[in-house]
Amino acid sequence: MKFDYLAIGEEIDPEGYVLTTYSVKTDLPIEKAARAIAAEQSTGTWTDISTTSEVILKKLGAKVIEIEGGLVKIAYPLDDFDPEVGGIPQFLSVVAGNLFGLEDLKGVRLEDVGIPAAFAKNYPGPAFGIEGLRNVLERKDKPLIGTIVKPKIGLAPQRFADYVYEAGIGGLTNSKDDETLVDQDFCPLSERTSAVGDAIDRVFDEVGHRLIHAVNVSSPPDKILELAELAVANGAREIMVDVLTCGFDAVRVLREDPSIKVPIHVHRTMHGALTRNPEHGISMTVIAKLVRLCGGDALHIGTFGVGKMHGSALEDKLSHKALIEPFFGLKDVMPVCSGGVHPALVPDLIKLGGRDIQIQAGGGVSGHPKGVREGARAMCEAVDATVRGVSLVDYAKDHEALRIAIDKWGV
């Protein structure tokens, strides 16, 4: 029988295929649209060709194995991939390549990928994960509480470090560079990192509190390792990478560099171009699985629909699940809830995400009327109130920092 990419209901061995789920919008019969995706992403093209063979088609042709409503499941033979050399770039060219531009489709979104062990075994996974971050911070079970130094660019190294010092004295466990700060002249990475390291040491010496700061090393592939090694040499306790602007393998090469033994915080800036449209793009679940494979220790997943950034509670729950569910024995990844966060959102974030989350506030700390230290304190008070089961309004009666934050931003 001629191979036509349709194999509805065929039993396939999940260890021999990459399984994908796409939501598909089309004016064509959906079987035709599904076949168009399977053909284009494996062994076909827009017309039949004289140069192929049944052997090639049967060995490497993708199979449409399920169509349910607008959801299409396609199984790509493992032999279509090249995990040891082509890696994730080639993987994405298959499962997330030309298909997005096919005229047969009005919209298509890659919702999930099922990765076989034979592919996953080529990846290191996180070195620290949730437990490792908790050990570094000596933070047994409460959510981690972080800030993003604001303004996102412009502060000179010492003022930047002073912000981190104030955040640490206020009780935060984490701080980070913002996603657009790397090594600009106004705040060179090496000077910033060493000043921040001194600030972190001062916090520990003065109040015995542990804080780590993620230094953003996002940069081209021929620079990123050198920049990360420079950060670590200047005392960085954590590094950060913008995974979508740098590429997934930027996380992997940092994870696999033996001289970099600090956690990797993964920012997802630009994800909105892929994840925002529910009818076209790539889900955060797919991004989360690839970040986990490559070794990210913490990943932004959104705020379950309660913060400033567009997002859906469902999408954020699904990517959260991808970070913590069993996955080839790899460590889990700390879910980071950030974007428009201030103390009043803390109860919902903990209710929706649990305690194994990193809650981050940039404006929600530096916008506090009494400054960074009290803004940090207000976030800590909101977390303490929530884990003790006390309402923020009641807790604020004898916690001034929280009360002032609630007066400004509401509850």
Minimum CB distance to ligand CAP, residue 310 (Å): 9
**Residue number with the smallest Cβ distance to ligand CAP:** 362
- What are the distances in angstroms from CA 89 to CA 65, 85, 95, 391? 25, 10, 10, 47
Q: Which is nearer to ligand CAP, 38 or 286 (CB)?
A: 286
Select the residue interacting with ligand CAP from 178, 198, 201, 400 (CB under 6 A): 178
Contact at 8 Å (CB) between 346 and 359? yes
Distance of CA 21 to the CA centre of its chain: 20
Find the residue with minimal CB distance to Mg ion.
178
Identified binder of ligand CAP from the candidate list 256, 340, 352, 390, rule CB under 6 A? 340
Our CA angle for 215, 189, 309, nearest 5°, is 45
Residue 302's binding partner out of Mg ion, ligand CAP, none, with CB under 5 to 8 Å set by partner kind: ligand CAP
Q: Are 343 and 373 within 8 A, CB to CB?
A: no
For residue 216, the one-letter residue type is N
Name the burial class of residue 43, with classes exposed (0-12), middle (13-18) and buried (19+) by CB atoms within 10 angstroms of its CB: buried
x/- string (CB under 6 A) for ligand CAP, residues 127-166?
A: ---------------------x---x--------------
| Shortest CB 180 distance to Mg ion, Å | 7
DSSP secondary structure string for all residues of 120-153: HTT----SSHHHHHHHHHT--SSPEEEEE-SSSS
State the number of binding residues for Mg ion (CB under 5 A). 2
Nearer Cβ to ligand CAP (44/171): 171
Letter string b/e over residues 12-33, b meaning 16 or more CB atoms within 10 A of that residue's CB: eeeeebbbbbbbbebeeebeeb
Our finding on whether 40 is near ligand CAP (CB under 6 A) is no
Stretch that binds ligand CAP, among 61-69, 191-199, 289-297, 335-343 (CB under 6 A): 335-343
Cβ of residue 179: shortest distance to Mg ion, in angstroms?
Answer: 5
Q: Which of residues 62-121 bind ligand CAP (CB under 6 A)?
A: none
Contact 333, 117 (CB under 8 A): no
CA-nearest of 349, 155, 144 to 263 is 144
Q: Which is nearer to Mg ion, 87 or 375 (CB)?
A: 375
When asked if residue 362 is in the footprint of ligand CAP (CB under 6 A), the reply is yes
3-state SS assignment for residue 79 = helix
The listed partner (ligand CAP, Mg ion, none) that binds 339, CB under 5 to 8 Å by sort, is: ligand CAP
In the complex, least distance from residue 194 CB atom to Mg ion, rounded to whole angstroms:
23
CA dihedral 246, 250, 196, 403 (to 10 degrees): 70
Q: Which is nearer to ligand CAP, 227 or 288 (CB)?
A: 288
Cβ-based neighbours of 53, under 8 Å, separated by 6 or more: none
Catalytic residue among 265, 267, 289, 300: 267
CB of 148 to Mg ion, least distance (A): 5
Catalytic annotation present for 267: yes
Instruction: Confirm whether 150 is a catalytic residue.
Output: yes
- Choose the binding region for ligand CAP from 24-32, 98-106, 338-346, 401-409 (rule: CB under 6 A): 338-346
Which of 31, 112, 162, 178 contacts Mg ion by CB under 5 A? 178
Q: Which helix (H) or strand (E) holds 68?
A: strand 63-68
276 belongs to the binding site for ligand CAP (CB under 6 A)? no
**Residue 166: other Cβ atoms inside 10 A:** 23
- Which lies closer to Mg ion via its Cβ, residue 31 or residue 178? 178
**C-beta of residue 214 within 8 angstroms of C-beta of residue 338:** no
Q: What residue ranges bind ligand CAP (CB under 6 A)?
A: 148, 152, 178-179, 268, 300, 302, 308-309, 338-341, 361-364
Q: What residue ranges bind Mg ion (CB under 5 A)?
A: 178-179
- Residues noted as catalytic: 150, 267
